[in-house]
Amino acid sequence: MTHPAANSILSRRVRDPSAFISGTGIRVMATPLQTDICIIGGGIAGLWLNARLRQRGYHTLLLEADSLGGGQTIRSQGIIHGGTKYALHGSLTQAAEAIAGMPLRWRACLEGDGELDLRGVQVLSQHHYLWSPGSLISKMAGFFASKALRGRVDAVSGEQLPEVFRDPAFRGKVYRLAELVLDVPSLLQRLAELAGDSLLGDRAERFDTPADGGPQRLICASGREIQAQRFVLSAGAGSEALLHSSGIHKPAMQRRPLQMVTVCAANLPPLYAHCLGASPKPRLTVTTHPLTNGEQCWYLGGELAEQGVTSDPQALIQRAASELAELLPWVNLQGARWDTLRIDRAEPAQSGLTRPDSAFVQQQDALLVCWPTKLALAPDLSDQVLDLLQRQALQPGQHPPLPELPHPPLAKPVWEH
């Protein structure tokens, strides 16, 4: 039996006037789809950029092969970083400075006063926190109180403490960061609304430059051909295969994998915080996400996820349980359900597989290859692309209306799986 959603998509395809069925049964597009900007990849980078371009009057088409946000985006913790976690060794880094202004930009959008209207996106926490389970914070107290971090970090105590740290057994220190945590599924839903009719569920196969010098085009798995003034490749890990299939070998991509841990239970207190450890990276990063069954899910990242990438899932779960028992022994985790989740972070290649400091955009003829590197940096990536188009005086063109096209679905929350 065919699912109703599949029927809907099939009916839209049949009504597509630019398609016909060839003698081999393969759908072939008789007329290329034309647009100003074609974006390949419907994660946070592509969706944010698509909305900004449409604001500027550009005709866009965003291609997504699977589900919107279904790669790295839906697996993110939803933290809009301000860079504090990159300064845990006691000084501000280039990465910390590059991302410092992002929380304010996102907050403006959430209030309807920013570059995009994100009113209606659920904010899980207005602040992210940093906590120390003991005396480690004393080494950082002076730096956190310094002029360099003024407005980014505030010490909190008493009633200002998050619920989980109000237990009499807690003996550490807590700092409130000028960062926030978003519900990523509701963010994806809002960006899909802003995309209007520009979404297309199809797989990009290869770029093709005609021998007669005509415009560069994109060939899709369905047989569709897309012509555009510019193509923006923002497909995360999927960018690598498309570049290679098109004979494009630079820029190079790197992967920095993680193995996250999920803990689901009915009575988990909300927690959005980095735990300070002995290294310059957070020992543990925890965010809390609601489940449709009424439970809460703690989503655990930080060094636990980085160092545990090669661990057997059960061994990593045992390590995570030991960490939480040591750090938050008063939280009852009896009966909790544990699981692990792998993330393949795709980024522009760096020396020594280090983390890139900022969003990345590189142009090759009509192709712009992009990686945001962090959820929070999506606005910065769109700035770079828009600046490029402005410098090149690329103007919106006149295009025939698009036929009714199949839309990609929204990704489902990974903790619901």
pLDDT tens for each residue of 125-160? 999 999 988 765 555 555 665 555 666 788 899 999
**What percent helix, strand, coil does the chain show, rounded to 5?**
30, 30, 40
Q: Which residue has the higher pLDDT, 371 or 313?
A: 313
Contact of 78 with 301, CB cutoff 8 Å: no
CATH number of 82-182+255-347: 3.30.9
Per domain, the residue ranges of the chain are 4-72+187-252+354-416, 82-182+255-347
Which pLDDT score is estimated for 332? Answer: 95
- Torsional sign, CA 9, 11, 15, 18: positive
Q: Give the helix/strand (H/E) hosting 55.
A: helix 44-55
Which pLDDT score is estimated for 321? Answer: 98
Q: Residue 179 pLDDT > 90, yes or no? A: yes
Can you give the pTM of this predicted structure? 0.89
Contact of 308 with 259, CB cutoff 8 Å: yes
Which pLDDT score is estimated for 95? Answer: 62
Grade residue 278 by pLDDT with cuts at 50, 70 and 90. Answer: confident
Q: Residue 310 pLDDT > 50, yes or no? A: yes
Residue-wise pLDDT for 214-270, tens only, equals 567 999 999 999 999 999 999 998 888 898 888 887 888 889 999 999 999 998 999
d(CA 120, CA 20) in angstroms, rounded, equals 41
CATH number of 4-72+187-252+354-416: 3.50.50.60
Tally: H helices and E strands in the chain: 11, 21
Pick the most confident of 174-178, 274-278, 327-331, 412-416: 327-331
